[in-house]
Structures are given as C-alpha cells and as structure tokens.
Amino acid sequence: MPTDILNLERICAAGWPGLRSRSWSDWHARFGNGFTSRANSVLVLGSPGCDLPDAVAAVDRWYAGFDRRPIYQLPTGPGLPAEVTAVDGALRVSGLRVGDRVSVQTAAIDAVLPRCTPRPELTASVSAAPAPAWLASYLYRGKPLPPTAVQVLTAGPDPAFLSLRRGDQVVGVGRGVVVDGWLGVTAVTVAESARRSGIGTEVMAALLRWGRSNAAHSVYLQVDRANEAALALYAGLGFTEHHGYHYLLDRS
C-alpha cells in the first residue's frame, strides 16, 4: 500500500480529472465548469518549468479563457520536493489566501472490511452512470448538484455509482473509481432520515467490496478538516492520514 505524496496525488487527480486540462511541467491545471475545487484548480507537484511570474501569468490566461480566476492546490506533508514548498510560500506572498484544508486518508481494503458488519436489510447496487435517484441523493456541501456536475462525476476511468437502499428508499450513495490499484471514494452522502445509524459505514463497505472486485488493494478519500463527523467515521474504520493539501485563491 505505501506510496509517496506525489504519486498518490497523481492517482487522485486521475480519478477526478475535470473536463479540460493543461500542464506546465509539474503544474497541472484543470477545469470542470466550476464544480468542485479539485476539478477547477492547478495541482502543484513541483516546478512549472519556467520562472514563477511567467507560470502564474500563463495560468491566469488559461483560466481567463473560461472566465474564471485560478485556484491552486498545494500538497503538504513529509518528503515533498522543495519546489512545492517554495511555490506555496511565493503564492502566499503574492497575495493569495488559504482556502479549504483537506486531509487525504488511506487504508488497506482488507484491513477495513472486517470492521464492517453486513446489514441484511440493505441492498447495494452499482451502475456505470448516476441514475436520477442517485443524483437526487448526492448533496455537494449540503446542496443539490448544479447541472454541470454530471460531466465531472462521470469523467475519469470507469467510475462506479453506488446506491444503498432500504426497501425502495435510497438511504446512501457514493462514487468509486480505481486507478493503479487504489480505490478512490467520493460523493458519499447519507439520507438525512438515515443519519447516525451506520449507513455511512455500509456505503463505504459496499464501495470497498466493489473496489476489491476490480483489483484495488488500497483506498483513499479526501475529507475537509472541518468535517469532524466524517473524520470520526473514517478513523473508526481504520483510516489514517497520508498527507494533506490546501487551496490558495484570490482574497476577493
């Protein structure tokens, strides 16, 4: 399971790639019609291959073509190249502010599954595209999805959309994608009427079983550090922090 920060960030990016992209050496810009910061930011994994002011100007021009201002995603943790830390500091000095801070959590699939007890009253189904009921159940930051979200959700290598039902009611959903043996879990949402009843654990378990059947050995997920309930759920399942990242964006 062990892998370094840069490699895992590349795997994460492949699993949630956005719709358009452009790279400057180890800077990877993505555009996803504004849906999620991950799909609409510059992932900094090293040097841009040119002077910083020139790289920033090129990024500004690229995002201006979409009528957007750039957001930068900066990994944090031990063993990162010095260029990443240097870019982080220089962008802050230039006036960008720190936005959301995220914890990247990982675990071995076979270590998590024994902690999940199957619930016979629940039925899990997986589809290659999000059905209307799935889309209606997934809340992004507590809100319904924008119309452009489906394009981002279905990008990437063969994503799977899990629905968990109790009878006819969808009580939980999630998205899974496997890249290089790693299962990426995103979009986990539990119906408000079913919260605090273990449904989140069963959504995770169903996605883990799907991932293992598709040659995944390990799992990662990205959690906002302010989401204490989610962090507690994943800690209880045996996840630990691999590294972190944060966003840098305009002060306006």
pLDDT at 148: 87
Pick the CATH number of 107-242 from 3.40.190.10, 3.40.630.30, 3.30.1300.10, 3.40.1260.10: 3.40.630.30
pLDDT at 35: 95
pLDDT tens readout for residues 23-46: 999 999 999 999 999 999 999 999
pTM score of the predicted model: 0.94
pLDDT at 1: 55
pLDDT at 147: 84
| Separation CA 175–CA 195 (nearest Å) | 18
Angle at 63 between CA 60 and CA 69, to 5 degrees: 75
- pLDDT mean for each 10 residues of the chain (252 residues): 87 97 98 96 97 97 97 96 96 96 98 90 95 93 85 95 94 97 96 81 95 98 94 94 97 70
* Domain locations in the chain as residue ranges: 5-104+245-249, 107-242
Backbone angles phi and psi of 150, in degrees to 5: -60, -40
